[in-house]
């Protein structure tokens, strides 16, 4: 059986209602496979945690960057709350070690696993909010999520690289970039895509990712660097 006390120690929060924390780690697939468990899945907590996360991040960005317009703040927020960021934080907290999953879901890796981890992190935030109040949830988010803003800004992770590269290519080359998948590796549940971006007949750069969309963004980001258009 999972030792959720270990997770409490890891994050420095002791839950008054231990059942809330257990629910945050319970995936729907586990309930379907263990109908007599008496447990509830984490989707309602995820719904709540998503809203709490958005509010805390919005408040932080509004106060921290008074000179930034709402468009820039929105892009910062999107980068801080997206599935990639949330799943990365979940990995650092070893959330996967505590998940209650069906046997099939437990074998998943790649994109599917990323979403399960991201959703679990939001459910954990929802559980903290219910158990510890807004201040408790805010403290957790400020400890693990808001510090990533520096990395996001420095690496341009808030920028829609495809849109920016298209804008620049049309401005300087008079052409619209085209993307082509050049390689697919791995099993169906854990694919890795490599995509090349072309301007006319010139291949400018390549990028890889767990989906074609991620690979295209990575290729566009590399292309911006190659052309010296990186913001």
Which residues have a catalytic role annotated? 50, 122
Dist CA 226 CA 206 (whole Å): 11
196 CB contacts (<8 Å, ≥6 apart)? 179, 180, 182, 203, 205, 206, 219
Per-state percent for the chain, helix, strand, coil, to nearest 5: 65, 10, 25
User: Judging by beta carbons within 10 Å of its beta carbon (0-12, 13-18, 19+), is residue 78 exposed, middle or buried?
Assistant: middle
Strands (E), the chain: 178-185, 192-199, 202-209
Dist CA 189 CA 206 (whole Å): 23
Q: Which two tokens stand for residue 217?
A: 């963004």
């Amino acid at each position: 059986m999972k030792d959720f006390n270990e997770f409490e120690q890891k994050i420095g929060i002791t839950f008054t209602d231990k059942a809330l924390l257990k629910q945050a780690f319970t995936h729907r697939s586990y309930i379907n496979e263990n109908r007599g468990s008496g447990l509830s899945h984490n989707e309602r907590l995820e719904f709540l945690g998503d809203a709490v996360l958005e509010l805390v991040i919005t408040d932080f960005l509004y106060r921290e960057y008074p000179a930034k317009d709402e468009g820039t703040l929105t892009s910062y927020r999107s980068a801080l709350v997206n599935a990639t960021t949330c799943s990365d934080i979940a990995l650092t907290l070893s959330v996967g070690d505590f998940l209650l999953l069906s046997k099939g879901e437990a074998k998943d890796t790649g994109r599917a696993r990323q979403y399960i981890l991201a959703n679990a992190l939001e459910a954990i935030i929802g559980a903290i909010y219910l158990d510890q109040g807004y201040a408790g949830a805010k403290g957790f988010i400020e400890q693990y999520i808001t510090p990533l803003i520096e990395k996001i800004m420095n690496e341009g992770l808030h920028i829609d690289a495809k849109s920016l590269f298209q804008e620049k290519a049309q401005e300087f080359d008079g052409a619209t970039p085209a993307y082509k998948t050049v390689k697919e590796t791995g099993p169906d549940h854990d694919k890795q895509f490599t995509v090349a971006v072309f301007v006319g007949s010139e291949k400018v750069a390549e990028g890889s990712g767990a989906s074609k969309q991620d690979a295209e963004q990575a290729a566009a980001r590399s292309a911006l660097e190659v052309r010296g258009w990186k913001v």
